[in-house]
Amino acid sequence: MCHGAAFSIGIVLNRRAGFATLAAMDPWADLSSDLTAFGAQLREIRHDIHRHPELGFEETRTQAKVRAWLTERGYSPTTCAETGLVADLHPERHGAGPTIALRADLDCLPMQEHTELPYRSTHDGRAHKCGHDGHTTILMGVADLLARARDAIPLNVRLLFQPAEEGVRGGGAKVMVAEGALAGVSEVYGLHNWPGYTKGHVRVIAGPTMAQVKNFSIELVGVGGHASQPQSCRDPVIAGAHLVTALQTVVSRGLGYEGGAVVSVTVFEAGEKVNIIPERARLQGTIRSFSAETTARVLERMRELVSGTGAAFGVDATLELDAGYPVLINDADCVEVVRRVAERLVGEQRVSDAGLPMAGSEDFAYFAQRVPAAYFFLGAGREGEQTPGCHHPDFDFDDDLLPLGIEMFLGIVRDRVAALT
């Protein structure tokens, strides 16, 4: 088929086999009509990545595995953000026409594997408890199928294999953007499995989708002493306890009915001995919101409370902030692309924006700041059971999502090709 001509590809889930059957019309007729065998290969890849998890900016083994896969299929992947990769389907067309980008994350979490899976992590303190092993495998599968139909696709597709989504050194997406990974890209798409949504459903929303994050640390310094003589002390534990309670009013009383933020204290450290009032206490936590204005109001109230509590209890109180990821904002037109594709694949009734936006954060937001973008979720919650969520020690990516993720990304490519004709 010549450039500019339409092509059509339909993918139907083979429910009994648990993977996918590809029903393709020319020019993809040479693709296998049954992806069950290919699916088994992808599952093996996912399990291998799961078995060998790597933290952010340390994904050297995973990077090598993906690089070899891409090279064998005619790509020329380049290193980006130390342990990431960028690969173009049509590098010769860079700058000469539209380029859309598809992104997957590579890194694991600093957690212990608690499952008894045959492919459980072989590394203490490291495990794929967010499903990035599945996301990486999905994009590897997409890379394979795009390569088979390369001559039929009249636009460039850039594959972004991103390191360090889990917050190491500010996130890998920010580094990839700074190193030019989006140069010439007109749209970018990303996905995430989500056990909180029903399996087989797709969730997407235009506008704010995931929260801006700021982490905070509050240091309280008083006067320590013997626990039997509290009148001679300035107790930072009492000040900290009051502050934990007071911070719960930041949203409920500081923002009113509109809400739009979450403030969580997650660390309270103080003391070592049962009979000593300590000199210092430390609180840490996170602030999540969906607009700069809301964040500013939350910080204003927090500063007031920290200062006031310190004065009330006679302790020195300081607030330090560490900026996390910005708000992830989905482009409305890109969201419509995702909706069209998802409705064809899973049906209109299984596509919605229910449960969105969510207060989690994602460094895909840096991509979305630069070019129009859509980030969407594949439901993974199994009906009739409490499916362990992302970051839970018993979590494992559901292999049944591999074909749906591949179908979604391929469908997006198909949709954007159709827009050119």
Residues 247 and 342 in one domain: no
Residue 175: inside a domain = yes
Does residue 1 lie in a domain region? no
Domain match, 117 and 243 both: no
Of 107-116, 174-183, 246-255, minimum mean pLDDT range: 246-255
Instruction: For residues 159 and 192, state if they share a domain.
Output: yes
The pTM of the full predicted model, rounded to 2 decimals, is 0.88
Work out the percent of the chain whose per-residue pLDDT is above 70: 91
Residues 350, 293 within the same domain: no
What Cα–Cα distance (Å) separates residue 170 from each residue in 50, 191, 270, 314, 323?
24, 20, 28, 36, 9
Q: Residue 128 domain-assigned?
A: yes
Cβ 106 vs Cβ 62: under 8 Å: yes
234 part of a folded domain: yes
Which amino acid is residue 123, in one-letter code? H
Yes or no: say if 210 and 365 are a contact pair by the CB < 8 Å rule.
yes
In this prediction, residue 2 has a pLDDT band, given cuts at 50, 70 and 90, of very low
Pair 160, 180: CB distance under 8 Å? no
Show the beta-strand stretches assigned E in 108-242: 156-162, 187-198, 202-203, 207-210, 212-221, 225-226
Q: Which residues contact 350 (CB under 8 A, 6 or more apart)?
A: 198, 200, 201, 202, 342
Higher pLDDT, 12 or 324: 324
Query: Is the domain of 311 the same as that of 237?
Result: yes
Q: What is the CATH number of the domain that holds 299?
A: 3.30.70.360
Count of the separate structural domains present in the chain:
2
Report strand pairing: 202-203 vs 351-352: parallel
So what's the pLDDT on residue 166?
Answer: 95
CA angle 243, 249, 251 (to 5 degrees): 125
* 234 and 202 share one domain: no
Are 173 and 61 members of one domain? yes
The size of the chain, in residues, is 421
Q: pLDDT tens across 174-213, in order?
A: 999 999 999 999 999 999 999 999 999 999 999 999 999 9
Residues 24 and 111 in one domain: yes
pLDDT tier, 18 (very low <50, low <70, confident <90, very high otherwise): very low
* Residue 292 is assigned to a structural domain of this protein: yes
Boundary-marking domain end, from 323, 343, 372: 323
For residues 396 and 51, the answer to whether their CB atoms sit within 8 Å is no
**pLDDT over threshold 60, residue 8:** no
Residue 3 lies in a domain: no
For 202-242, what is each residue's pLDDT tens digit?
A: 999 999 999 999 999 999 999 999 999 999 999 999 999 99
Q: Which domain holds residue 86?
A: 9-210+327-420
Quote the pLDDT of residue 321: 94
Distance CA(149)–CA(165), nearest Å, equals 30
Q: What is the CATH number of the domain that holds 392?
A: 3.40.630.10
183 and 223 assigned to the same domain:
no
Predicted confidence band of residue 36 (pLDDT cuts 50, 70, 90): low
What is the tens place of the pLDDT at every residue in 338-366? Answer: 999 999 999 999 999 999 999 999 999 99
Helix (H), strand (E) at residue 124: none
* DSSP H or E stretch at residue 322: strand 316-323
The single-letter DSSP state of residue 88 is: E
Same-domain pairing of 403 and 264:
no
178 plus 217 within the same structural domain: no
Task: Quickly tell me which residue has 């339909």 as its tokens.
Answer: 10
What residues contact residue 141 under an 8 Å CB cut-off, 6+ apart?
38, 42, 402, 405, 406
Q: Which of 323, 355, 379 is the C-terminal boundary of a domain?
A: 323
Tell me, yes or no, whether 39 and 64 share the same domain. yes
Q: Are 403 and 136 in contact (CB under 8 A)?
A: no
Q: Work out whether strand 316-323 and strand 212-221 pair parallel, antiparallel, or are unpaired.
A: antiparallel
Q: What is the pLDDT of residue 187?
A: 98
Residue 347 lies in a domain: yes
- 4 belongs to a structural domain: no
Contact 286, 215 (CB under 8 A): yes
> Nearest CA to 92 among 46, 153, 31, 9?
153
- Which residue, of 272, 300, 323, is where some domain finishes? 323
The average pLDDT across 144-167 equals 93
Task: With CA atoms as reference, report the closest residue to 294 among 337, 263, 336.
Answer: 263
Q: Other CB atoms closer than 10 Å to residue 271's CB: what's the count?
A: 16
pLDDT band at 35 (very low <50, low <70, confident <90, very high): low
